[in-house]
Amino acid sequence: GRRRRQLRRRTREALRQDQRELQELRDRRHDEIREGDKREARDYQDKIRDKRKEIHNDRREIYGNDHDRRYGWDRDRRHDRDHDHD
């Protein structure tokens, strides 16, 4: 009931925050690559991977397991791979 709705709302807010943080990490990684600092870029890649796992878990908590298959957890991963070496 009400408690579950509050939990979902809080989890959705956490998901949005994680998505913003993921974009910031991607931007920083891109800056490091542009500046030629491969070691820093690798560190950001590790942080990005961890953040994506958090987002995956948040989505599973909110929507259940079917959501990721339907809405493209794998598609997101393919998209990331396409841009990892910009």
Specify the pLDDT at position 72: 57
Specify the pLDDT at position 7: 76
Check whether 80 has a pLDDT greater than 90.
no
Specify the pLDDT at position 74: 53
Residue written as token pair 């990331």: 80
- Under 8 Å between Cβ of 52 and 22: yes
Tens digits of per-residue pLDDT, 17-72? 999 999 999 999 999 999 999 999 999 999 999 999 999 988 888 888 765 555 55
- What are the start-end ranges of the H helices in 36-64? 38-63
Q: pTM score > 0.95 for this model?
A: no
1 versus 70: which is more confidently predicted? Answer: 1
Q: Which of 10, 24, 26 minimizes the C-alpha distance to 58?
A: 10
Q: Which of 17, 23, 9 minimizes the C-alpha distance to 62?
A: 9
Helix (H) or strand (E) holding 18: helix 2-35
- Measured over all CA atoms, what is the biggest interatomic distance in the chain, rounded to whole angstroms? 52
Check whether 15 has a pLDDT greater than 80.
yes
